[in-house]
Structure 1
Amino acid sequence: MQRGTAPREDGVTANALKLASHVLVQPLCKLFNKCLSSNCIPAGFANSKTILLLKKGDLSLIANYRPISLLSTIYKTFTRVLTNRLESYLEDAQPVEQAGFRRGFSTMDHIQTLNELAEKCDEFHLPLFMLFIDFEKAFDSIKYGALYEALQRQSISEQAIQLLQTINENGRTTIHIKFDKTEINVHQGVRQGDTISPKLFSACLQLAFERVNWQGKGININGQHLNHLRFANDIILISHSYIQLQRMAKDLQRQAKGIGLKINVSKSKLVTNQNTN
């Protein structure tokens, strides 16, 4: 847990938890083991405070704000434990095209790939089409049913899935806007601010990609086809053909809708090289 992270209403910070670790290790270990074995959590354990952070643009437009969940530090410590238990299974299900939220991967991997791809296409006078896709409120839109199906397909135990269901079903959030606050139930999405959310999002996104039929599509590199790259929820579709790229985009749009995601057309951009007509 990072030091200096913002606490929820309980006022417990990561710094305080670490300073008191010699006293809290045993009772927290007992609590976490009970949660893991019983698939139950204490009342209010998964509740959060949601604040809105301005990304950029017009202050009056709600679309320009990113909701961030401020969760209990003890709860986030628990989901870190849960993440560590599930990580090896979730990691095995991720392809090399996904570089987000993974040890040993970075944006530089994909930047290097795209640079080499562009250079080779220019060298051999080949057309190159790349569609940079943006999803609207990606983390907040994931359907729970799709998430649980994805976890089942990725060999996560039924017990762990039931525990995540319990967390989602019991989690409420209080939205704070200036001096007003409203408590609501949460019926979809993985919470930005929860330690397990990035892994859950990637798992669900993988379900959508498993459902697209892109065999033989993309760019042939030594007998293997490269048709997309991913960094978390940022997607790049790649092809020599504009028509093929359109079909791939429609396939992804349809399958992404099935897990709750919607492509943001206004923020998705097409990039081509000088060899295209």
Structure 2
Amino acid sequence: GEPSGRAPLKAGQWKLEWSPTRQLLPTPGCPLRCLLPLHSSQDDSFKGACDHNGVITDLEPDILECEVKWALESITTNKASGGDGIPVELFQILKDDAVKVLHSICQQIWKTQQWPQDWKRSVFIPIPKKGNAKECSNYRTIALISHASKVMLKILQARLQQYMNHELSDVQSGFRKGRGTRDQIANIRWIMEKAREFQKNIYFCFIDYAKAFDCVDYNKLWKILKEMGIPDHLTCLLRNLYADQEATVRTGHGTTDWFQIGKGIHQGCILSPCLFNFCVEYIMRNAGLEET
């Protein structure tokens, strides 16, 4: 039977509790607590581009079957399934039949901007980091999502890529193809050598964003995308993907009920690095650090 009151139910050190709505949720102190919704409403910045049903009418070019085939083939195999339990290998075995079905679903989402609820669900797995395993702060989480949804996400990422390449500064190397830490280490070394040669002082500032992905506010993200020139159609798809999204926490001691998420971009989601880069670019521009 259900426990009475709000008595905590411990799953290892990941505490779960019964909320007033009788949901089993992460308790205060759990790293996932910050993802619970602080507000349920999103602003109406894009209402002017929508029809009376809230659907964007000025659409980007349709999704092609070849895009679906490319996206499906590029998904890494031997990965854990999301909440639907369907492995990506099943789609890859079905080949053209799977491509046709997924193309139909993706095209329907593209036109209506409405996502299947299963594609908006994540299964969070807590992974211990260094330090005391009894402390919740010493865990990071990975999010398992539906493999079918990754097809649509990869296509959406490819459509966003051209805008990201145009808007991001050349000095931004994080989460960008063909760039890595070796390049930046080489740049730092070159700067240090030149500073020593000309006897100049140099100063380095290393910034670590605490819970970077988890701290992204949705309404601010949509405004940033609009400022970066992202088409309303693509932004509406992203808004509806994150609207009413749900998650559950799975540990060796059990699984929580599904609960709504109101903040943060997903750890492990294909789109998250791209979206976070837009946020960082906006921060750097407003900090007056953009190259002039």
TM-score by length of 2: 0.71
The alignment's C-alpha RMSD in Å is 1.6
Task: Note if contact 2:83-2:118 (Cα within 8 Å) is conserved in structure 1.
Answer: no
Secondary structure at 2:119 match in 1: coil
1:23 maps to a residue whose letter is: D
Instruction: Give structure 2 stretches of 5+ with no counterpart.
Output: 1-74
Match of 1:3, SS state, is: coil
For the residues of structure 2 that align with 1:55 and 1:96, how far apart are their CA atoms? 33
Q: Secondary structure, in 3 states, of the residue corresponding to 2:143?
A: strand
Contact 2:221–2:279 (CA under 8 A) maintained in structure 1: yes
1:117-128 superposed matches below 5 A:
117-128=191-202
Provide, for residues 154-173 of structure 1, a one-character-per-residue CA deviation record: whole Å limited to 9, x for no partner: 21111111111111112100
- Is 1:203 the counterpart of 2:283? The answer is no
Q: Which residue of 1 aligns with 2:97?
A: 23
1:195 corresponds to which letter in structure 2? Answer: I
1:8 to partner: Cα distance: 1.4
Q: How many residues align?
A: 217
Match of residue 4 from structure 1: 78
Structure 2 counterpart of 1:243: none
- CA contact 1:44–1:170 (8 Å) conserved in 2: no
Report whether the alignment pairs 1:71 with 2:145. Answer: yes
Q: Name 1:111's counterpart in structure 2.
A: 185
Q: For 2:178 and 2:275, how far apart are their aligned partners in 1?
A: 19
**TM-score (structure 1 length as normaliser):** 0.75
1:35 to 91, 106, 109: 109
Q: Distance in 2 between matches of 1:212 and 1:171?
A: 32
C-alpha separation in 1, matches of 2:133 and 2:171: 36
1:44 offset after TM fit, Å? 2.5
Relative to total residues, which structure has the larger strand share, 1 or 2?
A: 1
Q: Is the 8 A contact 1:44 1:171 kept in 2?
A: no
The code of the aligned residue for 1:187 comes to G
Q: Does 1:177 align with 2:251?
A: yes
The secondary structure found in structure 1 opposite 2:205 is: strand
After TM superposition, the structure 1 = structure 2 runs for residues 215-226 of structure 1, keeping only pairs within 5 Å, are: none
Counterparts of 1:112 and 1:19 in 2: how far apart (Å)? 44
Which consecutive residues of structure 1, in runs of 5 or more, have no partner in the other structure?
Answer: 216-223, 226-277
Deviations, residues 97-149 of structure 1 (Å, cap 9, x unaligned): 21122122111211110000111111122112212111111011111112111
What's 2:210 paired with? 136
1:62 to 113, 132, 136: 136
Letter in 1 for 2:242: N
Which whole-Å CA distance do the structure 1 matches of 2:85 and 2:225 have between them?
Answer: 33
Aligned to 2:269: 194
